[in-house]
Each structure stands twice: as structure tokens, then as C-alpha cells.
Amino acid sequence: MLFFKKKKTYSFMDIGLTADVHCHILPGVDDGSQSLDESVAILTELQRLGVRKVILTPHVSRTMFPNSAEDLGTRFMDFIPSLPEEIRSGMKFHLASEYMVDEFFEASPDRLCWPDGKHILIEMSYYQRSREIKDTIFNLQMDGFQPVLAHPERYVFYQKKYDKKKGVEELRDFFDAGCKLQLNIMSLSGAYGEASLGIVHWLLDHDMYSFTGTDVHSRQQIDRFTGFQLSESQLEKVRQLARNNETIFG
Ligand SMILES: [Fe+2]
């Protein structure tokens, strides 16, 4: 038994991520890339690592990043032609968003989804569970959307509840409610602490993740896409998430 659970160290290339569903590469609209140069540097690295399809998911939140779908659309249309030919011809791009679920979310008409027109990426504050999260998930489903909660392993209030044996029971509620969960690649390195890594392994072992994304904000972060301590079965599960990402592009 122990033999099968033995962990080895893996890096980005071992995961086989060809389609990224979560990143902050559209420059100057959130806390991600701040310039075209930085975006090109990030994309050059992602391309080198085997990524061929990218969903840009800038933050949208009334208080921090009040981006409208229209404005993001205009910036996206300007951004793509300004990329070097090698990137433009070798990669496919789609504009979506990462929506903060707070008291303003329901009133927002913005709905920039993943390329299947159905999956919508949502997040909460790292420090406080959104009071509106349950209703929002239900209402999105009623409107025909498939909500995807970004990086469940990164929420500090869930990390505080993490138990080695029981995991975080509250995260099972998302799964049971039909909200899909998206793993951040960098979380696999333990970059967000022991409890976060514990949640990652627990969610993987219980097959509760559906997708994985880089959530990359800067060129430097890519250097940390390595040192992933995983068992063989966990690695295979992460590889399956990478394959699930591909299905979003049809
Ligand atoms: Fe993000």
C-alpha cells in the first residue's frame, strides 16, 4: 500500500497541460500582467511548456476590478493583434473572466464564460466565505451556467478548517451542489502552505476537482511551476484534469 502512495517530484511538463482555463495575462486590467512585454514573456514560457490554448480570465469585482465585459472585449481585440506572430500562430485565445462572488455579483450583467459558453469561473475573498455563494451557484445553474469555483485550496478560512483525516467537509458541499472545482497548478508545489497542500491532496484523492489552471499573474510565477510532490495516482488525476480542460474548447 505504502509503495503506491510514495510521492515523487514532478514539474509542469509532467502534467501535460495544453489548455489553460485560468490566467491573468490580459495586461493592465487587474493584478496580473501590467504590460504587453510581461504578457509576451508569460505566453512565451507557456508555449515552451506545451500550452496551446489559453482562456484569459481577468478579475471582475465591483470594488477591486470593476471591469465591464465591453471594456475587456475591446482590450482583448487590441491585445491579440499586438502579440508576436509566433505566439499568435501557435496559440488559440479566448476571453472569459474570474468573477468575485459578493453582494454585487447578481446585479452584474457581465457573463464572460469559457469557450463552451457554459462554464463560468467564480471566486471568493481568501479571508471570508461569501454569504451569497450558495444562492449564486444555484442561480447560475438556473440560468443555464455551470459554475466553477477557482482554487478552493487557496481560501484561508478553509485552510483553517483542514483536518488531515477529514479534509474540509464544507468543500464537499460545492461538489454536492454541482459546482465544479478548479485546481491551481502552483498549489501543487506547496507554495500556499501545508494546509493548502493538504486540501489539494484530499480533493485529488476524493476526485472532487474537475479542471486545473495556471492562474498565472506574472512571469516570475512560472519559475515556481515545479517541485510537485505527488503519488503516481495523484499525478494521473492531475493529468486527467488537464485533459478535461481540453474538452472546454470542443
Ligand atoms: Fe485568478
User: How many A from CA of 99 to the centre of ligand 1?
Assistant: 9
**Residue 118: all three cell numbers together:** 457554459
Closest CA to 17 of 39, 56, 47, 57: 47
249 CB burial (10 A radius; 0-12, 13-18, 19+): middle
User: How many A from CA of 112 to the centre of ligand 1?
Assistant: 14
Q: Identify which has the larger pLDDT, 236 or 165.
A: 236
State the pLDDT at residue 246. Answer: 97
User: How many A from CA of 1 to the centre of ligand 1?
Assistant: 36
Strand 59-60 and strand 92-95: pairing? unpaired
Residue 4 has pLDDT above 70, yes or no: no
Domains of the chain, residue spans: 10-245
* Axis-axis angle for helices 194-205, 232-247 (nearest 10): 80
**C-alpha–C-alpha distance, residues 129 and 106, integer Å:** 16
Residue 131 has pLDDT above 60, yes or no: yes
User: How many A from CA of 2 to the centre of ligand 1?
Assistant: 35
Q: Can you name the residues that pair with 23 across neighbouring β-strands?
A: 216
State the pLDDT at residue 83. Answer: 98
User: How many A from CA of 24 to the centre of ligand 1?
Assistant: 7
Does domain 10-245 fall into CATH 3.40.50.2000? no
User: How many A from CA of 59 to the centre of ligand 1?
Assistant: 7
User: How many A from CA of 25 to the centre of ligand 1?
Assistant: 10
State the pLDDT at residue 5. Answer: 73
**C-alpha–C-alpha distance, residues 126 and 152, integer Å:** 9
Give every CB contact of residue 102 below 8 A, 6+ residues apart in sequence. Answer: 61, 62, 63, 125, 130, 132
User: How many A from CA of 86 to the centre of ligand 1?
Assistant: 26
User: How many A from CA of 3 to the centre of ligand 1?
Assistant: 36
